[in-house]
Chain A
Amino acid sequence: NAGVTQTPKFQVLKTGQSMTLQCAQDMNHNSMYWYRQDPGMGLRLIYYSASEGTTDKGEVPNGYNVSRLNKREFSLRLESAAPSQTSVYFCASGGTVEQPQHFGDGTRLSIL
């Protein structure tokens, strides 16, 4: 019963470095989401994928790219990390009028 798995759990980067956050779900959900969570703010949607092969921008997409590799996996890439991208990143999957979204445990990312 893994649900939504995010890797890594923690990461420290220097400004300008790149990295990819990985997310995989085993619940056969069509939709997947990437959020960021910052102190004093609600979760904000970065990108989402309604189904395999499609991706769309959310509320705060600047500085990020995503890939929906297959139905299970949805990755988030920071091409040139900036201190403003220091945050906790959550991946989620699913969500319908009958079932809630399922969240991963988060990735705590610090950019120096």
Chain B
Amino acid sequence: KNEVEQSPQNLTAQEGEFITINCSYSVGISALHWLQQHPGGGIVSLFMLSSGKKKHGRLIATINIQEKHSSLHITASHPRDSAVYICAVNSGGSNYKLTFGKGTLLTVNP
């Protein structure tokens, strides 16, 4: 079973700060996902990565396959970025099952 570890568990920032959330996994993967969940809300997919780097607006996701590590960066953070960010990996196989990290609770204060 693939173990997925996220750090930090909780993160508080001031508006405008640069944010980094980390994710490490234990065995090989076919893809890594970053998901966002607002308080009391549903879960939406932000990024799906198998290599390199992706950017969407102020969000950047990177992955290092050799080191089994991914980072999610938020530039110029805003209070509306406050949410739980979840890392999930798919280890391949015939069924696209995901293993999830416990999530990082981000609070951005104005």
Point out residues on A near B: beta carbons under 8 Å.
Answer: 31, 33, 40-45, 48, 50, 56, 58, 90, 92, 95-97, 99-106
Are B86 and A99 interface neighbours, CB within 8 A?
no
Say whether B42 faces chain A, with CB atoms less than 8 Å apart.
Answer: yes
Are A97 and B97 interface neighbours, CB within 8 A?
no
Question: Size range of the interface on B?
Answer: 20 to 34
Residues of chain B with a CB closer than 8 A to A96's CB:
96
Residues of chain A with a CB closer than 8 A to B86's CB:
42-43
Say whether B90 faces chain A, with CB atoms less than 8 Å apart.
Answer: yes
Q: Interface SS of chain A: helix, strand, loop or mixed? A: loop
Whose C-beta in chain B lies nearest to the C-beta of A49? Answer: B95
Are A104 and B48 interface neighbours, CB within 8 A?
no
Point out residues on B near A: beta carbons under 8 Å.
Answer: 4, 30-31, 33, 35, 41-45, 48, 50, 86, 88, 90, 94-103
Are A100 and B102 interface neighbours, CB within 8 A?
no
**Chain B nearest CB: distance from A73 CB in Å?**
19
Are A42 and B96 interface neighbours, CB within 8 A?
no
Residues of chain A with a CB closer than 8 A to B94's CB:
50
Max chain B Cβ within 10 angstroms of own Cβ: one of A33, A96, A99, A100: A100
Question: Looking at the complex, which one of A43, A50, A92 makes contact with B95 (CB distance below 8 Å)?
Answer: A50
